[in-house]
Amino acid sequence: MTAERATLVDAAARVYGEFGFRGATTRRIADEAGVNEITIFRQFGSKEALINEAVRTHAVRPPFPNLPVVPADPRRELTEWADVVRAHMSDARSLIRRMMSEMEERPAVAPCIGEGPMRAASHLQAYLARLSSYGWLPADPEAHGANIAAATSMLMSALFADAMGRDLMPAMYPQPAERAPAAYVDVFLRALGVRAAPVAPARVTPSAMLRAAAGITPALAPNIPSSITPTAPAAHSGAAPSRSRPV
């Protein structure tokens, strides 16, 4: 994206968040961006195209961090991740609230609201699969009473509600914003029964590592072998190898 397009997208996001689709006129957006109004049509063709790009950039494609492939400290790793997720949604709350308020008038915007959080939830579920693979969770967490889907929904809902409602209902969020993600993660980890230290799991095979990194269970990937056993090297007999003699 060119610098000029990025400036217009940022300006459109701010204006749309404050005035809504109808109030976000091309004149207002151009004034906010410090450009001529014709530049909007030259770069995007229409106001709607510009607003849609602003929504996708600021609310749909957030720069969420990656959770580590090999977990080392689940509490720290999840707290850092949750802090970034909550902060992004809080920064974009005016835009998200505006999209939610216009869902009936502009139903096409509905998928945009949830795409970013759904992607974050997918990353979280894949990380939980890796916790299980590396011994932080039982091999079959569900069999031990852990409801991973419900726990994931609760953590994501807590982060979203905090980001959207902290300034509206401050009494509901007595802990400071910078400490809230750690509190939510603590409850999340206890609900799942995450161990204080990993229990040495069964040998993690290359295919199992790939499945864990992608959050795929063996039942969903029947064509991927469950184990890959390397061929043992031939025993060394001590005898010199035979050489063919020239005839």
Return the pLDDT at 243: 47
Return the pLDDT at 106: 81
Among 88-92, 142-146, 158-162, which stretch is predicted with the lowest mean pLDDT?
Answer: 142-146
pLDDT bracket for residue 62 (50, 70, 90): low
pLDDT bracket for residue 32 (50, 70, 90): very high
What's the mean pLDDT in 193-219? 66
Q: What is the mean pLDDT of the chain?
A: 81
Return the pLDDT at 147: 84
Whole-angstrom distance, CA of residue 149 vs CA of residue 140: 14
The share of the chain scoring above pLDDT 90, in percent, equals 47
Nearest to 212 by CA among 147, 129, 136, 145: 129
Return the pLDDT at 232: 43
pLDDT bracket for residue 108 (50, 70, 90): confident
Neighbours of 127 (CB within 10 A): 22
Return the pLDDT at 204: 54
Return the pLDDT at 236: 44
Q: Between the CA of residue 13 and those of 92, 175, 185, what are the distances in Å?
A: 9, 30, 31
Nearest to 68 by CA among 80, 57, 52, 50: 80
Q: Is the pLDDT of residue 112 over 70?
A: no
Are the C-beta atoms of 142 and 191 separated by less than 8 Å? no
Return the pLDDT at 246: 47
Among 37-51, 148-162, 230-244, which stretch is predicted with the lowest mean pLDDT?
Answer: 230-244
Domains and CATH numbers, the chain: 3-60 (1.10.10.60), 74-219 (no CATH)
pLDDT bracket for residue 15 (50, 70, 90): very high
